[in-house]
Structure formats: structure tokens, C-alpha cells
Amino acid sequence: MNDAPGRAAPADPHFVGRSYTSTVVNGAQIPGGGPLQVSFPAANRISLTAGCNRHIGELQVDGPLLRLGALASTMMACPGPRAQADDWITSFTSEPLTWYSVGQALVLVGPDAQVLLTEKYS
């Protein structure tokens, strides 16, 4: 599923300082239903949660690829299927993510899933 969509990413990504929430997941589904929430609080920083713990770390934008460094995580125990949401994030981010924009939406493509995210406004 890591086929490049054929779109060049801008040199200065528009998503820095923004937050997104998943609306569609194709491929491996998020245990417990998610949603995946992704924030880019500053240049080269990312924060993710899929319904259990929050994962934060460094990010390198390399054209159409997002390369994540080691992610630190909160350590809450989550009930039921949400307990596996952290494993889903680990799998989803195990390789560089391909990213591209569709209008105001952001698409992230990992090894087993493609996620459509829409911007979350405060």
C-alpha cells in the first residue's frame, strides 16, 4: 500500500501547526474504531493517538515522505479493543509515511493502511 500517489509534496508543508482527525481508514482498521488524531504542533514534531495513548516525537519531512523518529508515549491501560490501538500506531508508523493533500484534507499512507484526515478546528 505504499505506492506513491504521484504528487510532489511542497517544500514547506502546510500542515505544521494544525491538527487532523481520521474520517476514513482503508486497509488495517484501528482497533476500537479510533479515530486517528494527528497534530503537527511545530516544525519537525508530531503527536498521534488512535483512541488510547498519545505518542509524540520528531518528524522529518522528506518530500512526499514523513520519517518519524522514536515515539514517546503515555502509558495508560485502555479497556477492550482500544488496548490494541497503540500497536496499530506502531505498525502504521513502522516505515516512512507517504503524505499528500486532497483539498483541505491530508492523506497518510502506511504499510498496511491509508488514512484520510480532515483538519480539526478549535
Q: Write out pLDDT tens, residues 47-68.
A: 999 999 999 999 999 999 999 9
Considering only CA atoms, which of 32, 43, 45, 36 is closest in space to residue 110?
Answer: 36
Indicate the average pLDDT of the chain: 89
Per-residue confidence (pLDDT) for residue 49, from 0 to 100: 97
The C-alpha cell at 90 is: 506502531
Question: Is 80 exceeded by the pLDDT of residue 2?
Answer: no
10: pLDDT confidence band, cut at 50, 70 and 90? very low
- For the stretch 79-117, pLDDT in tens is 999 999 999 999 999 999 999 998 889 999 999 999 999
SS3 percent helix, strand, coil of the chain, rounded to 5, is 15, 45, 45
Q: Cβ distance 99 to 107 under 8 Å? A: yes
Question: Is 80 exceeded by the pLDDT of residue 3?
Answer: no
Full-model pTM: 0.86
12: pLDDT confidence band, cut at 50, 70 and 90? low
Percent of the chain's residues with pLDDT above 90: 81
